[in-house]
């Protein structure tokens, strides 16, 4: 349960230089996050462009992040797949490398039924000994992991957390009604952190934390300390900037932002392409207004 953090976890990008993983930039990003209060490093998620990494690269990224973090904060590693068998093998490998927990997005493209999702996650959880975190993001996967299904999954001793990014308030409220106290629940949307904390959430797995890590950490910490007005003020101030991080498909804008801050190159892998110049100009103005550059 030590892996089930309360606070702000960053869904960290995978930095590239000339087509290869930029390990120097990766180390710089990790240190920047830990120095500025981030409570968990989440590697090999959507923001980390895991879909375009080879198996060997995924292994190398997980090994590097776990080694670089060196136990200072928990490391959650994405091991999801739309093949249950592949997800099981990936989970075993990441566990053996030293991951503290495993993030599993709902199977994409297959469009599993709720019964299929129940079997998928149960099979994975049965195969490992570390906590599993489920991840619901229907806008990307075309599959919606419903609260009733999560309530069943929460009975498994290794399914201990959930990242929610459905954006549907009634569904989120039902999730908390059924699963509050049974699962750690994090917002998967940076603009919904405060509302989900108010419902009983444990924080956020964040994209915005790449560029405002201290603020994202502080928002959660202040709320947990009962300083709810101060937490709400951070959310309200950050929301315009957060909106600019999603004007194009994530992680296109955040990599542009990180490059403006000198933390890594603005390089992605196809089919993702760099941010358009008009959007980049708007993002730069927002970051200047926020005091980041």
Catalytic residues: 135, 163
Length of the chain: 293
Annotated binding site for pyruvate: 47, 205
Place of tokens 């009733």: 148
Contact assessment for residue 150 and residue 159, using Cβ atoms and an 8 Å cutoff: no
Residue 155 CA to residue 185 CA, distance in Å, equals: 15
Residue 11 CA to residue 141 CA, distance in Å, equals: 17
Residue 160 CA to residue 272 CA, distance in Å, equals: 32
3-state secondary structure 6-60: CEEEEECCCCEECCEECHHHHHHHHHHHHHCCCCEEEECCCCCCHHHCCHHHHHH
Ranges of H-type helices in the chain: 23-35, 55-69, 84-97, 114-127, 138-141, 147-153, 169-179, 193-199, 213-224, 228-244, 252-260, 277-290
Q: Name, in order, each residue with C-beta under 8 angstroms of 98's C-beta and a sequence gap of 6 or more.
A: 66, 75
Place of tokens 């708007």: 282
**Which has the closest alpha carbon to 37: 66, 10, 70?**
10
Q: Are strands 7-11 and 159-164 parallel, antiparallel or unpaired?
A: unpaired
Annotated binding site: 47, 205
């Amino acid at each position: 349960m030590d892996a089930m953090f309360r606070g702000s976890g960053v869904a960290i990008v995978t930095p590239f230089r000339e087509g290869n993983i930029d390990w120097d930039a990766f180390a710089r990003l990790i240190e920047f996050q830990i120095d500025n209060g981030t409570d968990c490093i989440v590697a090999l998620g959507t923001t980390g462009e895991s879909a375009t990494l080879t198996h060997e690269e995924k292994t190398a990224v997980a090994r590097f992040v776990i080694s670089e973090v060196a136990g200072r904060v928990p490391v959650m590693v994405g091991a999801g797949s739309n093949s249950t068998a592949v997800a099981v093998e990936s989970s075993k490998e990441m566990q053996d490398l030293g991951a503290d927990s495993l993030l599993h997005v709902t199977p994409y493209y297959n469009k599993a039924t709720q019964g299929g999702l129940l079997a998928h996650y149960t099979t994975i959880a049965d195969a490992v000994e570390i906590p599993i975190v489920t991840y619901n993001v229907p806008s990307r996967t075309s599959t919606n992991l419903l609260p009733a299904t999560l309530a069943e999954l929460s009975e498994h001793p290794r399914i201990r957390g959930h990242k929610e990014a459905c954006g549907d308030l009634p569904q989120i409220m039902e999730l908390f009604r059924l699963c509050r106290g049974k699962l750690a629940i994090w917002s998967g949307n940076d603009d919904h952190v405060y509302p989900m904390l108010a419902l009983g959430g444990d924080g956020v797995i964040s994209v915005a934390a790449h560029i405002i890590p201290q603020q994202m950490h502080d928002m959660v910490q202040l709320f947990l300390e009962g300083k709810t007005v101060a937490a709400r003020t951070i959310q309200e101030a950050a929301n315009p900037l957060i909106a600019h991080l999603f004007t194009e498909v994530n992680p296109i804008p955040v990599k542009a932002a990180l490059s403006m801050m000198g933390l890594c190159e603005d390089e992605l892998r196809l089919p993702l392409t760099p941010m358009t110049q008009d959007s980049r100009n708007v993002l730069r103005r927002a970051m200047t207004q926020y005091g980041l550059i």
